[in-house]
């Protein structure tokens, strides 16, 4: 028999979640799935259950995933060296074949299967399905000190989002299905392009006017210089934190993705710790949350 104290604790959790469930019912939430949450078996299953529960209470989750480590592992097995410039993988045609195999195949179908095994109805997509992610090649330039000339660096088939046709994803998410999207786009030249998953998640959230964008990371969120978690940050706060060096390195493109989404109409962005069990549910349905909340304008 369930102890009275335990029963009350369960009731308290459900009551705390109720207003959030009511607020988000019928709304779209885009979740970027990556980091430790993608490789730890317990975290993968807790993530899948979070997504299924979101769908069951009337929220429309859309999952966008990365897969950099998995791509690197397969390239190593094939005897191919991974080269990175400014954090971006140089992607020749052979590497792009591996990217498509891993992102569009192995990783995507594993996530689809996890969600389905936990009672959901997931459908795997790449940006090539329905031609819904149009990409353009990234042209990286770098100043050459000696004569102030500009060096153009060819990253191969590395792209950025040029446009998104939301029809396919919108149709799926507003039915019983959960879209699971690999960040591969197609250019006007017909070539496939590897795109940063954060950028794809941000652009999809903008186009679909999502209520929230959630980015899973391997950190607690945005930390101050003393290592304390910051939350309730506005776009101007983020700009200030970048200028003073509090936000640096790999967190800069992630926060830029977040602020672009906010400027594009997304109501809020959450950068959360994917190493925490059920991090998505804790951020969505509890008062305290587990990461950094970003909004267009902070309420002081």
The string of pLDDT tens digits covering residues 87-142 is: 788 899 999 999 999 999 999 999 999 999 999 999 999 999 999 999 999 987 77
Beta 84-85 vs 291-295: how paired, if at all?
unpaired
pLDDT in tens, 208-258: 999 999 999 888 999 998 989 999 999 999 999 999 999 988 888 889 999
In the chain, which ranges are E strands?
Answer: 28-33, 60-65, 84-85, 88-89, 122-126, 133-144, 149-164, 178-182, 184-186, 192-195, 212-217, 268-273, 291-295
**Sheet containing 60-65: which strands, arranged edge to edge?**
122-126, 178-182, 60-65, 28-33, 212-217, 268-273, 291-295
- In 3D space, the residue among 285, 290, 262, 274 whose CA is nearest the CA of residue 63 turns out to be 274
Q: Which residues of 159-179 are buried (b: 16+ CB within 10 A; e: fewer)?
A: bbbeebebebbbebbeeebbb
pLDDT band with cut points at 50, 70 and 90 for residue 148: low
Q: What percent of the chain has pLDDT over 70?
A: 95
CATH: 3.30.565.10, 3.30.70.960, 3.40.1160.10, 3.30.420.10. Which one for 25-295? 3.40.1160.10
Query: What's the residue count for the chain?
Result: 300
Structural domain spans, the chain: 25-295
> In Å, what is the CA distance from 168 to each residue of 45, 89, 125, 200, 239?
26, 29, 10, 15, 35
Determine the pLDDT at residue 211.
96
What pLDDT does 5 receive? 61
pLDDT for position 4: 60
pLDDT at 298: 67
What's residue 297's pLDDT? 81
> For residue 104, what is the DSSP state?
I
What would the DSSP string read from start to end of 150-183? EEEEEEEEEEEEEEE--HHHHHHHTTT-EEEEE-
């Amino acid at each position: 028999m369930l102890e009275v104290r335990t029963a009350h604790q369960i009731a308290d959790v459900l009551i705390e979640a109720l207003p959030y469930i009511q607020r988000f019912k019928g709304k779209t939430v885009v979740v970027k799935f990556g980091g430790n949450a993608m490789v730890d078996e317990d975290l993968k299953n807790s993530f899948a259950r979070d997504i299924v529960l979101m769908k069951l209470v009337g929220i429309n989750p859309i999952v966008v995933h990365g897969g950099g480590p998995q791509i690197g592992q397969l390239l190593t097995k094939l005897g191919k060296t991974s080269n990175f410039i400014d954090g971006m993988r140089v992607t020749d045609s052979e590497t792009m074949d591996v990217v498509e195999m891993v992102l569009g195949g192995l990783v995507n179908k594993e996530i689809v299967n996890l969600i389905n095994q936990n009672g959901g109805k997931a459908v795997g997509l790449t940006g090539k399905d329905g031609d819904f992610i149009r990409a353009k090649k990234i042209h990286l330039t770098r100043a050459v000190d000696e004569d102030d000339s500009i060096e153009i660096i060819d990253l191969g088939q590395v792209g950025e989002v040029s446009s998104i046709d939301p029809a396919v994803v919108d149709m799926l998410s507003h039915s019983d299905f959960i879209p699971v999207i690999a960040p591969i786009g197609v250019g006007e030249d017909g070539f496939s392009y590897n795109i940063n998953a954060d950028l794809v998640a941000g652009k999809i959230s903008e186009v679909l006017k999502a209520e929230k964008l959630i980015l899973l990371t391997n950190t607690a969120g945005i930390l101050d210089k003393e290592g304390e978690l910051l939350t309730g940050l506005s776009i101007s706060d983020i700009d200030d934190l970048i200028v003073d060096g509090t936000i640096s390195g790999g967190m800069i493109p992630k926060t830029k993705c977040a602020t672009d989404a906010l400027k594009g109409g997304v109501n809020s962005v959450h950068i959360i710790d994917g190493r925490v069990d059920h991090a998505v549910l804790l951020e969505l349905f509890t008062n305290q949350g587990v990461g950094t909340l970003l909004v267009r304008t902070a309420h002081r």
